[in-house]
Amino acid sequence: MTVSVAIHSYKGGTGKTSISLNLSTLIAQEGKTACLLDWDFSGPSLTEIFEKRPKFYLNDLVEGQCSNEDVLVDVASEIGVKGRLLVGFADPDTESIRNMAKKSREFQMKALRRVFALKRYLEEEDVDLVIFDTSPGVSYSSLNAIIISDKVVILMKPYKPDFGGTFNMLRGIHTELDKESFLLINKVPIETIMSPEDKQDFTRKVEDYFAEVVQVQLLGMIPCLCSVSQTGFEDKPTDIILALKKEYHPLVAALRDILPKLRSKTEW
Amino acid sequence: MRIKTIYIFLKDGRCVVSKSFDGDSETSQDPDYFCPLFAAIDSFAQVMTQKKMKRVEFGDLQVFTVDFEDFNVLVTAETVGSLKEAEIEDILETIGIKFLERHYRDLHDWDGDLNCFLGFDNFCERVINARQGTEEVQPTKIADAITLIELDSSLKKTLQALIEIQEGTIQEIMEKSEIVSQEAQAKILVELVKKGYVGRRREGKKVLYYTG
């Protein structure tokens, strides 16, 4: 059974791409099939990480200019995982980014249908997990991804404007769409969650803050770790996927911890 | 209720117009048997009760009739559906009056040639479909992510299901929307058609709903 998850956030820089990459890699490492879709058309990332310039981008798919299979590239052998990791890339070319920003509501209506068709195709291909790495805030592309996904993970940093914005977004968008939503707090100062008491106290504060938004469940907290940050000059860009080489890294461990919660209703 | 068939027959039982709205032709009654039989029942009822017959019930099938001077308009209806008894009576009146206007002269000198009534079944179909909610309608509004967020919560799942499958019958939409009652699903679709987000068209005997 295919489960689709949209990784979303109110603000940028919350770690959506990093979490998406590592989650999909963890699934592929188990010998299963994951599909990672760069759904951030205003700031694509995956072409740089996988050093790919595919013939067709997800932009072409939502434009109706290529088929579902044209747009997916299996990178499993390149990164050395035993399952499959299918990646759909967004076009980083500035003209393509501008072009996507100009699209009308009529286009977005057709795009939503094409994303549904992509989801059906991935179900037929027995993909276990589909991850939409969305753009931050409220954009048409992220809304489309949220609508077709079974679950939504909302990432946020423990930062006042992010709390307020995430709360409003959860109430105004995710609740209205009646989605099973999970809150994942990233880059939490380590001293805030160092001891079990501190962690419990912080957890209670977060849960109280979001108590009004009944649909959301706190998925977990990931400590702020300098080692997750990159220099941009790694030997291989895929080295930033910590799940590949640093399986005991706290980020990877935290993601392993949250997987059972995401799997709670559906077995991947 | 939902109208399955309509018949217009003369007092002697000869059927002049009939139209079935039932996808399953096995359950439609043959007008050449049904109309004389019903004409006989109608005159028997009038003799017995001194009143005109308006409605008869046979299990789940209901029969409604309106008596005009030279002919009867009769419909059979099943209990599933959104039409109310008064609406069915209104449909019978509308069709009967129009038939009278168009064919008053034909009825008085009728030589048995059914050709003079040709096309009246289409009028019946238009009237019934309009009331029964199956006339063809094109969507006038965009159904996208913003629409889904802003739409009344009772309509969201159905619209999302329809966006996903693009086009489908009530049963096909129900499989995706997870709405279990066909009647509830039909009402939601009627509401979405009224609001302009959903279109409706016929393909053979199937009624298909779609977004723009």
Query: Are residues A105 and B164, on separate chains, in Cβ contact within 8 Å?
Result: no
Fill in the DSSP letter of residue B184. Answer: H
The share of chain B scoring above pLDDT 90, in percent, equals 29
Q: Is residue A250's pLDDT more than 90? A: no
Q: Residue A133 corresponds to which amino acid? A: D
- For residues B195 and B137, what is the distance between their CA atoms, to the nearest angstrom? 11
The structure tokens listed for A119 are: 């989801």
Residue B49's pLDDT is 87
Q: Which of A142-146, A218-222, B4-8, B91-95 has the highest mean pLDDT?
A: A142-146
- Which of the residues B141, B142, B146, B149 would you substitute to probe the A interface, choosing the one with the greatest number of A C-beta atoms within 10 Å? B149
Which residues in B lie closer than 8 A to residue A116 (C-beta atoms)?
A: 163-164
> How large is the average pLDDT for residues A52-81?
96
Task: Determine the 3-state secondary structure of A254 from DSSP.
Answer: helix
3-state DSSP assignment of residue B71: strand
pLDDT of residue A268: 47
Residues facing residue A220 across a β-bridge? A184
Q: Mind telling me how many Å the CA of A30 is from chain B's nearest CA?
A: 31
What pLDDT is attached to residue A215?
A: 73
What integer best gives the mean pLDDT of chain B? 86
- Residue A100 identity: M
Alpha-carbon distances, residue A33 vs A26, B111, B140 (angstroms): 10, 75, 41
Highest mean pLDDT of the ranges A199-213, B44-58, B156-170: B156-170
Using CA atoms, how far apart are residues B205 and B191, in angstroms rounded to an integer?
22
DSSP state of B137: B
Share of chain B above pLDDT 70, in %: 93
Helices B153-165 & A105-124 angle (0-180, nearest 10): 70
CA torsion, points A121, A124, A126, A129, in degrees to nearest 10?
A: 40
Residue A91 confidence (pLDDT): 98
CA B204 and chain centroid, separation: 15
Amino acid A89 reads F
Residue of B nearest to A169 (CA): B149
Residue B168 reports pLDDT greater than 70: yes
- Cα B105 to Cα B11, B70, B116, distances in angstroms: 16, 11, 11
Hey, are the CB atoms on A178 and B144 less than 8 Å from each other?
no
What the block records as the tokens of A239 is: 């080295």
Q: For strand A129-134 and strand A33-39, is the pairing parallel, antiparallel, or unpaired?
A: parallel
Which ipTM was obtained for this model? Answer: 0.84
pLDDT band at residue A70 using 50, 70 and 90 as cut-offs? very high
A235 touches B: beta carbon within 8 Å:
no
Residue A249 has a pLDDT of 84
Compute the distance between CA of residue A22 and CA of residue A71 in angstroms, rounded to an integer.
21
Tokens at A230, concatenated: 């990159």
Instruction: State phi, psi for A4 to the nearest 5 degrees.
Output: -115, 135
The pLDDT-based confidence of A71 (bands split at 50, 70, 90) is very high
Q: Counting beta carbons within 10 angstroms of the beta carbon of residue B210, is it exposed (0 to 12), middle (13 to 18) or buried (19 or more)?
A: middle
Question: Under a CB-based contact definition with an 8 Å cutoff, are residues A142 and A175 in contact?
Answer: no
Band the pLDDT of A14: cuts 50, 70, 90.
Answer: very high
> From CA A49, how far away is CA A52, in angstroms rounded?
8
Enumerate the residues of chain B whose CB falls inside 8 A of the CB of residue A113: 163-164, 166
Average pLDDT in the A127-149 region?
95
Residue B46: what pLDDT? 85
User: Residue B116: pLDDT above 70?
Assistant: yes
Residue, of B72 and B21, whose pLDDT is higher: B72
Q: Is the pLDDT of residue A125 over 90?
A: yes
* B149:A176 CB<8 A: yes
Do the bridges between strand A72-74 and strand A84-88 make them parallel or antiparallel, or are there none, so unpaired? antiparallel
d(CA B103, CA B168): 39
- Using a CB-CB cut-off of 8 Å, the residues of chain A touching B156 are 177-178
Tell me: pLDDT of A121 over 90. Answer: yes
Asked whether the beta carbons of A129 and A34 are under 8 A apart, the reply is yes
Q: How much of chain A is helix, strand and coil, in % rounded to 5?
A: 45, 20, 35
Per-residue pLDDT band at B28 (split at 50, 70, 90): low
Band the pLDDT of A194: cuts 50, 70, 90: confident
Query: In terms of Cα–Cα distance, which of A119, A146, A167, A106 is closest to A6?
Result: A146
Tell me the pLDDT of chain A averaged across its residues: 90
- DSSP letter assigned to residue B19: E
Q: What is the model's pLDDT at position B48?
A: 87
Task: Output the CA–CA distances (angstroms, integers) from residue B36 to A35, B8, B31, in the order listed.
Answer: 67, 11, 8
Is the model's pLDDT at B45 over the cut of 80? yes
Alpha helices of A30-159 — where are they, by DSSP H? Answer: 46-49, 58-62, 76-79, 94-101, 105-124, 140-148
How far apart are alpha carbons B117 and B6 in whole angstroms? 14
Residue A136's φ and ψ, nearest 5 degrees, are: -70, 160
pLDDT score at B42 = 85
Q: Which of residues 144-173 of A touch B (CB under 8 A)?
A: 144, 146-148, 172-173
Regarding predicted confidence, which is higher, A266 or B191? Answer: B191
Phi-psi category of A132—alpha, beta or left, where left has phi over 0 and alpha has psi -120 to 50? beta
The model's confidence at residue B22, banded by pLDDT at 50, 70 and 90, is low
Amino acid found at B23 = G
Please indicate whether residue B135 or residue A136 has the higher confidence score (pLDDT).
Answer: A136
Q: Among A22, A82, A64, A6, which residue's Cα sits nearest to residue A241?
A: A22
Pairing mode of beta strands A33-39, A84-88:
parallel
- The yes-or-no verdict on residue B80 having pLDDT over 50 is yes
* Cα B21 to Cα B88: distance, rounded to the nearest angstrom: 14
Most confident of A136-150, A233-247, B72-86: A136-150
Partner-chain contact B144 A176, CB within 8 Å: no
